[in-house]
Structure 1
Amino acid sequence: MSKLDPNDIKKYLKTKDIGSEIVYFETLDSTNNYAKEIAKKSPHGLVIIANEQTGGRGRLGRSWFTSKGKNISMTIILKPDIHPTEAMKMTQIAIAAMVVAVRELTGLHTLVKWPNDLLIENKKIAGILTEMVANANKIDYLIIGMGINVNTKIFPKEIEDMASSLALFKGADIDRQKLIIKILEEFEKLYLDYIKKGDLDKSLDIVRKYSAILDKDIYIIKGQDRYKARAVDIDHSGVLKVKHIDGREELLHSGEVSIRGKATYI
């Protein structure tokens, strides 16, 4: 099992703020939960990494499976000077950084399932959970949680048809430290581009290019309702535009829906 050494990560990390401070745990219930405890007094860009996460969760309260010493569980604390309505853009920046890092480091055909998942051959490899504390006009802090199935070989029966790992597709273990460094470097590049220009164009170009759902028919689940539509575009703010069978267009915000195909995870 490959070890994680926060000092090594900091040594080789070429960033200004993201990862300038790293808090490392061998075991932690949730990097996002811990981030909430320390965020107010922590600097922008602090990263929390756990070698094992025992209580991880994804969007909509779903649990997130992880194996000790096999995967990546980390959270970035951000304190951007942006309006709270802009917060969901951070998810698109994070997923863009993640897909670039994974593809460049592994060569695997990795795709983005809007708004926050990575897939390989319709199996979930990674996910992002963005959470925020804010008042009406100002963000106190944002936390970007990232979970990646890196070297896990065996999954629980209930998720083995929907989830997989980079190592299973690659046929060899992946260096977790190199992947962490690459993700953090790509994230800072895209984050600074957004802060400088005020738009998501660079991140959205990546998300669209590697989208698993654009120009495809998808199934949208809202509560007990399930209906079919075509994924048309991801707009300038990171919102998914879909077209219904009757020709009507709808904008879907990331917190509202789950998207699943007929027989696979998508």
Structure 2
Amino acid sequence: MESTRDRLINLLAENEDKFISGQALSESLNISRNAVWKHMKDLGKDGYEIEAKPRKGYRIKEYPDKLSSNTIKWGLESKWIAKTVIHKHSVESTQTIAHRAARENAPHGTIVVADEQTNGRGRMSRTWHSSKEKGIWLSIILRPEMPPNHASQLTLLTATVLADVLNSFEGVEPLIKWPNDILLNQKKTAGILTEMQAEQDRIQYILIGIGLNINHSIEDLSEDIQMKATSLKIETGKEWSIKTIIQRLLTAFETSYDLYMKNGFHPIKEKWEHFGFKIGENIKIQTFSDQWEGKFLGISDEGALLTESIEGKPVKLYSAEIDWF
């Protein structure tokens, strides 16, 4: 259920090109005009620029760039994603919050976003450094009607969305390192963690966790990852609006997800291979039983890595240690 404040912001947003009177707001929200005035004061303290004129009323002139559920929703043109936004200033991991929300029946498309993660995690329980207000730390709750064995395709879909969004910025040329790392200049700038709760033939929910380094300087990265990680700011030399990139990312994700549910995985596979790191080149592969060097051929229709086997024949790998560099 929307709070009075959310409803107030929505009313102001719907009337952004004109003033709306205190009386009209009072009647719509079923609160006193004095309460409307107090809400306006509170919005001002949060960074909203409210213009008030006698006998005309109020209008929002500018929204704050800092993250909140309202600023993310403001200007976001979506059909289903981020209709529910859970924003936290600091959490151990947005995935933890998203699991809890999903178990409490948070709807499809709910997002959890944080200014900071104190214990962010990536694949195989690796630590993800999530500096305060420097990047995008976000989880998306999905409830797709699809077989559980297709869930890994959503990781690859998300990677193509991130690559597309980054590729839209001038001078930025992302590549995807299988299955889910986004590289700029061969350094990691984003990762994706997909987790699922499912029964044998039915998905209860899927969480897509995204970590994207935006405004880190090199000093913001710990010494142990400075040679392996980067950020949009490091690569472009300028600061970026995290809120704006979140909105672009969510819009692109919704479009791509809807097309995937309609048309299947093949268009995602083609786009992934367009951005694929080291496709056509030799990579070193280690499985539980073997170690060899073979050409990276692309990904399969299921999203597995396609490479040459020891005998030089195409082989699918669903899990392996790859020496990419």
Asked if TM exceeds 0.5, the reply is: yes
Aligned pair in 2 of structure 1 residues 227, 33: CA closer, same or farther (>3 Å)? farther
2:322 aligned with 1:259: yes
- Is residue 2:162 matched to residue 1:98? yes
How far did residue 225 of structure 1 move? 5.9
**Structure 1 position 143 matched with structure 2 position 214:** no
Which of 187, 192, 203 aligns to 2:258? It is 192
What SS class does the counterpart of residue 115 from structure 1 fall into? coil
Alpha-carbon distance, 1:219 to partner = 2.0
Q: Deviations over 1:36-60 (max 9, x none)?
A: 1110311000000000011111111
Which residue of structure 2 aligns with residue 239 of structure 1? Answer: 304
* 1:105–1:179 CA contact under 8 A, matched in 2: no
Q: Is the 8 A contact 1:73 1:146 kept in 2?
A: yes
* Contact 1:118–1:124 (8 Å) recurs in 2: yes
TM-score normalised over the length of structure 2: 0.76
Residue type matched to 1:5 in 2? S
> Which is greater in Rg?
2
Look up the match of 2:97. Answer: 34
Kindly indicate whether the alpha-carbon contact (under 8 Å) linking 1:58 and 1:128 is maintained by their aligned counterparts in 2. yes
Match of 1:162 in 2: 228
TM-score, normalisation: structure 1: 0.92
Query: Contact between 1:190 and 1:202, CA under 8 Å: does it hold in 2?
Result: no
Query: Counterpart of 1:158 in structure 2: which amino acid?
Result: D
Q: SS at the partner of 1:12?
A: coil
Please state which structure has a larger fraction of its residues in helix.
2
Specify which of 74, 78, 88 is matched with residue 25 of structure 1: 88
Map of 2:315 onto structure 1:
250
Alignment equivalent of 1:75, drawn from 130, 135, 139? 139
RMSD: 1.5
Matches within 5 A, 1:214-225: 214-222=279-287
1:127 aligns with 2:188: no
**Offset of 1:186 from its aligned partner?**
0.9
- In 1, Cα distance between the equivalents of 2:293 and 2:250? 36
Query: Which AA in structure 1 matches 2:144?
Result: P
Task: Kindly state the Cα deviation for residue 240 of structure 1 after the two structures are TM-superposed.
Answer: 1.3
Counterpart of 1:103, as a letter, is: N
Query: Structure 2 regions of 5+ residues with no counterpart?
Result: 1-64
Aligned residues: 258
2:12 aligned with 1:12: no
TM superposition shift of 1:223: 5.6
Q: Offset at 1:226? A: 4.5
CA distance in 1, matches of 2:143, 2:84: 14
Using the aligned pairs only, state the percent identity.
Answer: 32
Question: Contact 2:166/2:173 (CA < 8 Å) preserved in 1?
Answer: no
Q: 3-state DSSP class of the match of 1:109? A: coil
Question: Does 133-142 or 104-113 show the bigger shift?
Answer: 104-113
* Residue of structure 1 equivalent to 2:150: 86
CA contact (8 A) 1:45 1:78 kept: yes
Q: For 1:21 and 1:105, how far apart are their aligned partners in 2?
A: 28
CA–CA separation in structure 2 for the residues paired with 1:135 and 1:179: 35
Greater alpha carbon shift after TM alignment, 25-34 vs 203-212: 203-212
Identify if the C-alpha distance between structure 1 residues 195 and 147 changes in structure 2 by more than 3 Å, giving closer, same or farther.
same
Letter paired with 2:76: L
Secondary structure at the counterpart of residue 218 of structure 1: strand
Q: Please, which runs of 5 or more residues in structure 1 have no aligned partner?
A: none
Per mean C-alpha deviation after superposition, the further-off stretch among 242-251 and 12-21 is 242-251
